[in-house]
Amino acid sequence: MKFFGLLCVLAFGISETFAGGSVVAWGWNEHGQTDVPESVTNVVAVEAGGNHSMALLADGNVIAWGRNSDGQCDVPASVTNPVAIAAGDWFSLALLPDGSVVGWGSHYGGVAPYVTNATAIWAGSRYALAMLADGSVIAWGSNEHGRCDVPASVKNPVAISTGGSHSLALLADGTVVGWGYNYYGQSDLPESVTNVVAVSVGKSAQYSLALISDGTVVAWGRDINDQLDVPDSVTNAVSIEGGGSFSTATLADGIVIGWGKNTVGQSDVPLSVNKPVAISSWSHSLALIENDSDYDGISDEDEISIYGTDPHNPDSDGDGLTDGVEVNIYNTNPALPDTDADGFSDSYEINTGYDPTLAVSSPELLLEIQTAIELKFHAAEGISYRLEATENPGNSWETVESNIMGSGDLIKRLYSAEDQPNRFFRAKRN
């Protein structure tokens, strides 16, 4: 799980500064793992498993949904007010306040050893990890490929990422330690990679990711679905997450970029995912975002305090564009239907190929005269216009009036039917 900006939900526990948010899910959904239940509200942590999903609510309840073939969604009654959750391929884990770990689902990782002093937990494919109060890390489950053979050097890790059959640990001195399956070199940090601030392992795929202090992302290991081809647009990244042959990176401006395998839309990050608090991926992804009641991609708090929009109306200004699309894509004002005040709505200008943020970029006016009509058009200050007329818009146009200098206000012209019967008019910039 990776985080944007101020860490609100930690692998080492839950911060009291985050009151809870909502969940957006996408990707593989054969077992309903991206169908977020209505009861999943005020969420403080999310975990994507192999074919199931988990959410920890602010009230201490844990909800799981998706495939339940091994009971991985049957949260035990003993799981109350956990400080962390983790989802493996066929099992689930919860870390309780007393340091004990509760597991359910497949016996490979779900049955936790008797642990009373754990401070963090992670779940992979058929194995699990826990960090103890003394900083050591223990593992249990299937030890195929040595995935449970935690190196002695892994002590007080800053972060750990688990995957299909290998793990990475980031230590306080910036060292990255890997163990487990390494046929494609996925457990060995490339020698040229330094200044690592975060790591992530591809789930059920043999590759790894590292976030560098300059905001760049490096990928290595097996590359069968272009998951190692980090897009050029991934700059100033603040978090990373590896999934099943696909990856995501959250940039400093809150935009999330996906790449790699995309057979079921797993790399198509929804527009509503902006400035996520956390992202967790496997064959699907879960994004924890601040409460967004109208699912327009802007948190309720930002709608009220920054944009002055209605947090319960996805299109506050009624211009046909959701508030999130206006802010995150077109840079228009979500509280004004006509950002540049040129007389044309933002959506109309976008659909006709004009810039909705510049008054000098306005669509041509096309008006039909039946008897008599007053022509009106917004004329940008310092721009010269002309009025043209024709009996058939498909034929040539003749100039009716030229050198109309704009002053930034509305220009008005009145023509009688006798002078210009059944004609079409348009305003053009000279």
What is the per-residue DSSP string for 314-379?
Answer: SSTT-SSS-HHHIIIII---TT-SSTT-SSS-HHHHHHTT--TT-TTS-PPEEEE-SS-EEEEEE-
The two structure tokens encoding residue 390: 């024709």
The confidence band for 230, taking pLDDT boundaries of 50, 70 and 90, is: very high
Residue 63 has pLDDT above 60, yes or no: yes
Residue 13: what pLDDT? Answer: 38
Model confidence pLDDT, tens digit, residues 386-397: 988 888 888 888
Using the Cα atoms of residue 266, residue 109, residue 14 and residue 3 in order, give the sign of their dihedral.
Answer: negative
- pLDDT cut 70: percent of the chain above it: 90
Query: 164-175, pLDDT tens digit by residue?
Result: 999 999 999 999
Q: Do residues 54 and 43 lie in contact, with contact meaning Cβ atoms separated by under 8 Å?
A: no
Sequential DSSP letters for 242-272? E-SSEEEEEETTSBEEEEE--TTSTT---TT
Task: Note the pLDDT of residue 420.
Answer: 58
**DSSP three-state, residue 150:** coil
Q: Count other Cβ atoms within 10 Å, centred on residue 205.
A: 26
pLDDT bucket at 6, cuts 50 / 70 / 90: very low
Q: Cβ contacts of residue 409 below 8 Å, gap of 6+?
A: 378, 379
pLDDT digit string (tens) for 244-289? Answer: 999 999 999 889 999 999 999 999 999 889 889 999 999 999 999 9
Query: Looking at this protein, which amino acid is placed at residue 405?
Result: M
Right CATH for 2-290 from 3.10.20.740, 3.40.50.300, 2.130.10.30, 3.40.50.1820:
2.130.10.30
pLDDT digits (tens, 9 = 90+) for 407-421: 888 888 766 656 656
Buried (b) or exposed (e) across 179-194, using 16+ Cβ within 10 A?
bbbbebebbebeeeee
Q: What is the pLDDT of residue 421?
A: 62
Domain definitions of the chain by residue range: 2-290, 302-341, 365-429
Please give the C-alpha separations between residue 300 and each of 295, 296, 311, 313, in angstroms, as whole numbers.
Answer: 9, 10, 5, 10
Q: pLDDT tens digits for 15-39?
A: 445 668 999 999 999 999 999 999 9
pLDDT in tens, 177-203: 999 999 999 999 999 999 999 999 999
Q: Single out the residue of 164, 178, 86, 69 nearest to residue 125, CA to CA.
A: 164
pLDDT in tens, 91-143: 999 999 999 999 999 876 667 777 889 999 999 999 999 999 999 999 999 99
Given a cut of 60, is residue 11 above it in pLDDT? no
Which pLDDT belongs to residue 1?
A: 43
Q: Which amino acid makes up residue 12?
A: F
Could you tell me the CA-to-CA distances from 389 to 217, 383, 403 in Å, in that order?
Answer: 57, 20, 15
Average pLDDT, the chain: 88
pLDDT at 298: 86
